[in-house]
Amino acid sequence: MQIFTGEAEIPEALRRGVVAIGNFDGVHRGHQSLLVRARMAAATAASPFGVLTFEPHPRALFRPDQPVFRLTTPSLKCRLLAALGADFMTVLEFNRELAALEAHDFVHRILLHRLGVSHVVTGFDFHFGHGRKGSPETMRQLGAELGFAVSTIDQVTDDDGLAPFSSSAIRDDLRHGRVGDAAHALGYWWMVSGTVVEGDRRGRAMGFPTANIVLDRGVEPLEGIYAVRVRLQGENHRAAAYVGTRPTFETGRRFLEVFLLDFDRDIYGETIDVEFQGFIRDDVKFPSAAALIERMRVDCVEADALLRAIEKQDPMRKFPLGALQAEGRI
C-alpha cells in the first residue's frame, strides 16, 4: 500500500479510484464493512481502492488537554488498512486550516483536485467541512453535481442487530478489562505495538524480567494483569502483561510490562506487538515484595492456561483481520 501525506498528490495511476473516507480508529468491524464495500466497488470498476483519513485525531486539536485513547496508532492503522486490501492511503493533517475548510471546498480541493475520485464511500454519520456542516446528503449532492458516485454505509450492528460497533464502546470495554468484548467488536485482538525500552530492572531482580513499552498518553486499559500474545521477530509467544503504576512500590508512573513465558533474552530496542487476549485480575497493592512474587507465579500459570486454550480455538480466526493476526500477517 502506498501512503501519501501532506500536500502530496497521488500519481495518475491511482486517480479515478474508489475512496473510503473516515478516521477509522481501531478499524473495527463497522469500519471493515465500509472498507469492504469500497474494495468491492473498486474491483467491479477495475479502479484503485484508496482510503482517506486524518491525523491527529480531531479531538487532539479541539481538546488538547484531554488525551485521546487511540485504539490504533497511525502506523498500526496503516498495517490494518493494507491487510484489508487498500492500494493507497492519503493522510490529511487535521489542523485549523483543514477544520475551517467549507464542505464544498473540501470536496473540490481534496477529493477532486488531489485525489481525482470516481466514487466516495462514507459512513452514515460522516460529517465534514467547517462546523461539520457537510453531511452524507451534502456529499451525495456534490457528487451528483461534480460527477462522482457516493455510497453511504448504514450503521453496522452486532449479530443480534442491537449493539452498533463504535470506537467509543470499544474504548469503554478496554477501560473495564473486557478484552473479549473489545476483540469481538474489532474482529481481532486489540494490540499495542511499540519498541521495548529499558526499565528499572525491578522485574528481573524479582525473577520476572519484563519487556517495557511506553504507552501513549490517553491509552488507558484497565490496570491489572493480562494474558497476552506477543509477536516478536515473526514468532508468537505466550506472555503475561501488567498495566499499572506498581502500587506495591509506589512509583507513581504508569507502565506496560510484558513477561514472556517461554524465553528470557535481551530484546531492548526490538519492536513487538502485544495482543490482549484475557484479563486475569485487577491491580492491587501487596503487603510485601514476597507476596507479590507469589501472586505473580499464579498469574503466569493462569495466563498460560488461558492462552493455550485460545491457541486451540481462537475465536478471532472467524474474522478476516483476526485470522491474519493469528498468522502474523498484519
pLDDT band at residue 112 under the 50/70/90 scheme: very high
CA angle 123, 128, 133 (to 5 degrees): 115
pLDDT band at residue 310 under the 50/70/90 scheme: very high
Residue 195 clears pLDDT 70, i.e. is over it: yes
Nearest to 190 by CA among 97, 73, 290: 73
Distance of alpha carbon 79 from alpha carbon 193, whole angstroms: 11
User: From residue 256, how far is each of 199, 202, 260, 300 by CA, in Å?
Assistant: 10, 14, 13, 16
Give 259-269 pLDDT, tens digit per residue.
999 877 788 89
Distance of alpha carbon 160 from alpha carbon 285, whole angstroms: 40
Distance of alpha carbon 74 from alpha carbon 51, whole angstroms: 13
Query: Which are the contacts of 175, defined by CB distance < 8 A and separation ≥ 6?
Result: 69, 220, 221, 222
Residue 202 clears pLDDT 90, i.e. is over it: no
Q: How much is the pLDDT for 205?
A: 45
Give 72-101 pLDDT, tens digit per residue.
999 999 999 999 999 999 999 999 999 999
Give 205-222 pLDDT, tens digit per residue.
455 678 999 888 899 999
Buried b (16+ CB within 10 A) or exposed e, 139-174: bbbbbeeeebebbbbeebeeeeeeeebbbeebbebb
Chain centroid to CA 46: how far?
29
Span 164-175, average pLDDT: 95
Domains and CATH numbers, the chain: 2-153 (3.40.50.620), 189-326 (2.40.30.30)
The residue that leads in pLDDT, 191 or 63, is: 191
Q: How much is the pLDDT for 60?
A: 84
Could you tell me where the DSSP H helices lie in the chain? Answer: 29-45, 58-62, 74-83, 96-99, 103-106, 136-146, 167-175, 179-186, 202-205, 289-312, 320-326
C-alpha cell at 113: 483536485
Distance of alpha carbon 290 from alpha carbon 76, whole angstroms: 38
Q: How much is the pLDDT for 126?
A: 94
What does residue 304 show for φ and ψ, rounded to 5 degrees? -60, -45
Residue 229 clears pLDDT 90, i.e. is over it: yes
Distance of alpha carbon 103 from alpha carbon 106, whole angstroms: 5
Span 162-191, average pLDDT: 94
Report the share of the chain in percent with pLDDT over 70: 93
Span 110-139, average pLDDT: 95
Q: How much is the pLDDT for 8?
A: 82
Span 291-320, average pLDDT: 95
Distance of alpha carbon 49 from alpha carbon 229, whole angstroms: 32
Give 39-61 pLDDT, tens digit per residue.
999 999 999 999 999 998 888 88
pTM for the predicted model, two decimal places: 0.92
Residue 201 clears pLDDT 70, i.e. is over it: no
